[in-house]
A and B are shown apart, each in its own frame.
Chain A
Amino acid sequence: MSDTIAHLKRGEQATIVSFNEEQVPLKLLEMGCLPGNVVMMMESAPFQDPIYLNINGTYLAIRRETAQQIIVKRHG
């Protein structure tokens, strides 16, 4: 199974590989969540939901269920 954003630990970085186009809102793409961009996990709330990320320089929070749709490749 491949990693998703929901698998990242605090401070960990990864590159976005792909995501399910139907499940990920356009809004997220507009905020820079596009394949090839780097994502860093900043913090997560209890129960890992929501998750606070830095994607491509933009700081944003998404819910766990959305994070699970975005497949990433961990750095290092």
Chain B
Amino acid sequence: MGKSINVSLIGNPNTGKTSLFNRLTGLNQKVGNYPGITVEKKEGICKLDRSLKAHILDLPGTYSLNTSSLDESVVVETLLNKNSKDYPDVAVVVSDIENLKRNLLLFTQIKDLEIPTILVINMADRMQRKAISLDIELMEQELNTRVVLVSARKNIGVDDLKKAISEYKNLKSVPCVNASTIDPEYFETLRKAYPKQSIYKLWLVITQDVNFGKIDRNRDLEDLKSSSFAVKSESDLKKMQHKETVVRYQFINSLLTKVLNVDKSQAKDLRTRLDRVLLHKVWGYLIFFVILLLIFQAIYDWSTYPMDWIDTFFAKASSWAQTSLPEGPFTDLISEGIIPGLGGIVIFIPQIAFLFLFIAILEESGYMSRVVFLMDHIMKKFGLSGKSVVPLVSGTACAIPAVMATRNIEDWKERLITILVVPFTTCSARLPVYLIIIALVIPEQEVWWIFNMQGLTLMLLYMLGFGAAIFSAWVLNKILPIKRKAFFVMEMPAYKLPMLKNVGITVLEKTKSFVLGAGKIIMAISVILWLLASHGIGEQFTNAEEIVKEQYASQNLSEEELTNKIASQQLEHSFIGYIGKGIEPAVRPLGYDWKIGIAIVSSFAAREVFVGTLATIYSVGSDEEETIKNRMRAEVNPILGGPLFNFASGISLLLFYAFAMQCMSTLAIVKRETNSWKWPAIQFTAMTVIAYFAALAAYQILK
């Protein structure tokens, strides 16, 4: 075993940090969360030479060490806390040759913390086209550090970087900008009080909370906060930070005039021309719309093929288990609880993979920022920003990847609101329910010559879902007591061809984190549901077979019909059947009977279960739509007489499904993304209450 050192990758967003991380670690990486918060933590191992390994941490992208978001505070915490196990032996600051001036701001700050620092200048492959030349040697002298030119895309300079890291002992840890010039007196007293600490580190600890609320973490300088040095008022500290920025830029400007040479006449601008079209007030929106359609198509349509295969596979696996394992409760658990539970997780993989494939491509190419730009004004009105658009739109396919896609939203309040409202959008799981009920209760009639009543109803339901999401966002923005960053500054990155490797790793990582994170919970709940549906107490349940056989003895039923009858008798008297009967008084005012009650209860696992459950209860063997539809049409309301599924109860059901939070997978992923059960619990309760009262009102008015 060789020695291992800690290396932190730090850099502005979009400098290619992640690409470089992928180059250094390959698939040798793992993604987790920082303890207690939702910021993603990426770590990996890179072998430097035979006796030295680097433990590489990809820190979130940040523009400076003056924190204004959770992501950024993670970076500062890591760099300030010498006792942390992540504290770097070497900081590798990644910069982009085309944005060197801005990128160097962060570099000077890190250098001033007196941590051994290497400067990586990435995207070297673009130097020639942009006619940029750089005097690396002079730069190394001026900055007192190693400077390495790299192209993560073309895999150039990565070995030089590894070598530079392995020689970390030679790096000098001396500051490069003297920040104390902004207020010499103040800094002198600081230095006297803490002679052993880096002066800039002290300053950072003092100013850390000015722009961002504090998170508790043990820190060796905790006492500084309460000491007399914190006496400066917040606005004084802010002014000093402004000054500091100016001082740093002065340093950077004078450095760059010496080492950097850009021949502006050579630069052709693809960006300007593309942005003319993609951000056009008409074409821009049209193009975005077409891209959305394409993504929809993929998630809706293309993913049905792999989803069908998965479905068939798990159905086969289940029946295989049933026939080839020894009979008994354990086999039942495997074949009816665990295998379908697993299937319920795996079935989502195609949709998730497709969505993230597209998102990764849009993001890598730089187009995502344009979407945010186009949509920001509209979304602002509802307390969201352009960044919530992608999750809301993906929600129409499936809320699970949509919730995961909110990670791009930096502002926590905005992200939370988006997560909370996304499940209102009409996801594909609602579709089977909508289709069957619409077919039952809405007449197939033409209106205004071209529109079909049923199609129109479906469209209205989509609009209702979107409206509910937007409206609740507006309400949540008003009532949630979370402070938000009151501003919006977004970098518009250059357009680039997506890197396959990056896209591949993103899709893989997201899918894996879904399967491992939400998977466990989905699994557990499906096993519980199965237990409730397959177990019961009392004569009626345990002797279901005899009772049914006796009842139908005269009717000469086929084997299959008999099995179906037995299954429905068992379900009626299983625990879940009792639950259905138990909630009947609650659902009767909505126009439902206990059977629909059961279907609703089991739909809390996943909405699409509705049709299947009704099929079991009505003992229709297959859940082929035609037969169930006929069966449902024939169903009679036990109290009022007349068809059970009429216009009033149908609309009531549609509304219930439109609003209710009936998807444990989504709840599981919300728990994962918000790191607490509190938010999914609130979401579940609020949505179900809204659904109940909407359905109640609809039924009572229409009946």
Contacts of A63 in B (CB 8 A): 376, 380, 487-488
Contact between chains at B105 and A34 (CB < 8 Å): no
Q: A26-B245, A57-B101, A63-B376 are in contact. List 17 more A-B contacts (CB 8 A).
A: A22-B235, A25-B489, A27-B63, A27-B487, A29-B242, A30-B66, A30-B102, A31-B63, A31-B102, A34-B249, A42-B272, A43-B275, A49-B377, A52-B279, A59-B494, A61-B369, A61-B489
Contact between chains at A60 and B238 (CB < 8 Å): no
Chain A residue nearest in CB terms to B63: A30
Q: In whole angstroms, what is the CA distance A73 to B241 when docked?
A: 25
Known: A25-B487, A46-B281, A47-B377. A58 touches B68 (CB 8 A): no
Contact between chains at B238 and A32 (CB < 8 Å): no
Contact between chains at B489 and A62 (CB < 8 Å): yes
Contact between chains at B101 and A32 (CB < 8 Å): yes
Contacts of B487 in A (CB 8 A): 25, 27-28, 62-63, 66
Contact between chains at A27 and B489 (CB < 8 Å): yes
Chain A residue nearest in CB terms to B494: A59
Contacts of B386 in A (CB 8 A): 50
Contacts of B102 in A (CB 8 A): 30-32, 56-58
Contacts of B275 in A (CB 8 A): 42-43, 52
Size range of the chain A interface in the assembly:
20 to 34
Known: A52-B275, A58-B491, A60-B490. A26 touches B377 (CB 8 A): no
B24 at interface (Cβ–Cβ under 8 A)? no
Chain B residue nearest in CB terms to A50: B376
Q: In whole angstroms, what is the CA distance A63 to B485 when docked?
A: 13
Listed by A's residue number, 26 A-B pairs whose Cβ atoms lie within 8 Å are A22-B235, A22-B238, A25-B211, A26-B68, A27-B487, A27-B489, A28-B487, A29-B242, A30-B64, A31-B491, A32-B101, A32-B249, A34-B245, A42-B272, A43-B275, A43-B276, A43-B279, A49-B376, A49-B380, A50-B376, A50-B377, A52-B275, A57-B102, A61-B491, A62-B488, A66-B487
Contacts of A1 in B (CB 8 A): none
Q: Which 5 A-B pairs have the closest CB atoms?
A: A59-B492, A25-B487, A30-B64, A49-B377, A43-B279
* Per-residue B-contact encoding for A6-34, CB less than 8 Å = 1, 0 else: 00000000000000011001111111101
A9 → chain B, closest Cβ, in Å?
15
Contact between chains at B373 and A52 (CB < 8 Å): yes
Q: Which residues of B in the span 372-398 have a Cβ within 8 Å of any Cβ on A?
A: 372-374, 376-377, 380, 386
Q: In whole angstroms, what is the CA distance A21 to B376 when docked?
A: 24
Q: In whole angstroms, what is the CA distance A48 to B377 when docked?
A: 9
* Per-residue A-contact encoding for B485-503, CB less than 8 Å = 1, 0 else: 1011111111000000000
Q: In whole angstroms, what is the CA distance A34 to B388 when docked?
A: 30
* Per-residue A-contact encoding for B520-531, CB less than 8 Å = 1, 0 else: 000000000000
Chain A residue nearest in CB terms to B248: A30
- The contact of A61 among B68, B242, B380, B492, by CB within 8 Å, is B492
Q: In whole angstroms, what is the CA distance A62 to B276 when docked?
A: 18
Contacts of B245 in A (CB 8 A): 26, 29-30, 34
Chain B residue nearest in CB terms to A22: B235
B167 → chain A, closest Cβ, in Å?
31
| Interface majority SS (helix, strand, loop, mixed), chain B | helix
B693 → chain A, closest Cβ, in Å?
36
Q: Which residues of B in the span 54-104 have a Cβ within 8 Å of any Cβ on A?
A: 63-64, 66, 68, 99, 101-102
Which of A26, A28, A42, A57 has the most CB atoms of chain B within a 10 A radius of its CB? A26
Contact between chains at B492 and A27 (CB < 8 Å): no
Which of B101, B241, B249 has the most CB atoms of chain A within a 10 A radius of its CB? B249
Q: In whole angstroms, what is the CA distance A49 to B603 when docked?
A: 43
Contact between chains at B491 and A59 (CB < 8 Å): yes
B271 at interface (Cβ–Cβ under 8 A)? yes
Q: In whole angstroms, what is the CA distance A29 to B249 when docked?
A: 10
Chain B residue nearest in CB terms to A11: B272
Contacts of B215 in A (CB 8 A): none
B126 at interface (Cβ–Cβ under 8 A)? no
B239 at interface (Cβ–Cβ under 8 A)? yes
B246 at interface (Cβ–Cβ under 8 A)? yes
Contact between chains at A31 and B492 (CB < 8 Å): no
B216 → chain A, closest Cβ, in Å?
23
- The contact of A28 among B99, B239, B380, B489, by CB within 8 Å, is B489
Q: Which residues of B in the span 260-303 have a Cβ within 8 Å of any Cβ on A?
A: 271-272, 275-276, 279, 281
Q: Which residues of B in the span 134-151 have a Cβ within 8 Å of any Cβ on A?
A: none
Contact between chains at A21 and B488 (CB < 8 Å): no
Contact between chains at B279 and A45 (CB < 8 Å): yes
* Per-residue A-contact encoding for B99-136, CB less than 8 Å = 1, 0 else: 10110010000000000000000000000000000000
Q: In whole angstroms, what is the CA distance A16 to B372 when docked?
A: 26
Contact between chains at A25 and B68 (CB < 8 Å): yes
Contacts of B279 in A (CB 8 A): 43, 45, 52
Contact between chains at B377 and A27 (CB < 8 Å): no
Chain B residue nearest in CB terms to A29: B245
Contacts of A32 in B (CB 8 A): 101-102, 249
Q: In whole angstroms, what is the CA distance A66 to B241 when docked?
A: 19
Q: In whole angstroms, what is the CA distance A72 to B493 when docked?
A: 24
Chain A residue nearest in CB terms to B68: A27
A73 → chain B, closest Cβ, in Å?
19
Q: In whole angstroms, what is the CA distance A50 to B68 when docked?
A: 21
Contacts of B272 in A (CB 8 A): 42
Contacts of A26 in B (CB 8 A): 64, 66, 68, 211, 238, 241-242, 245
Contacts of A62 in B (CB 8 A): 487-490
A34 → chain B, closest Cβ, in Å?
6
Contacts of A57 in B (CB 8 A): 99, 101-102
Chain B residue nearest in CB terms to A25: B487
* Per-residue B-contact encoding for A36-76, CB less than 8 Å = 1, 0 else: 00000011011101101000111111110010000000000
Q: Which residues of B in the span 402-434 have a Cβ within 8 Å of any Cβ on A?
A: none
Q: In whole angstroms, what is the CA distance A22 to B234 when docked?
A: 11
Q: In whole angstroms, what is the CA distance A60 to B99 when docked?
A: 12
Which of A50, A56, A57 has the most CB atoms of chain B within a 10 A radius of its CB? A50
Contact between chains at A56 and B489 (CB < 8 Å): no
B116 → chain A, closest Cβ, in Å?
24
Contacts of B369 in A (CB 8 A): 61
B296 → chain A, closest Cβ, in Å?
24
Q: In whole angstroms, what is the CA distance A9 to B63 when docked?
A: 28
Contacts of B488 in A (CB 8 A): 50, 61-63, 66
Q: In whole angstroms, what is the CA distance A45 to B66 when docked?
A: 30
Chain A residue nearest in CB terms to B64: A30
Contacts of A58 in B (CB 8 A): 99, 101-102, 491
Which of B99, B238, B492 has the most CB atoms of chain A within a 10 A radius of its CB? B492
Q: In whole angstroms, what is the CA distance A22 to B235 when docked?
A: 8
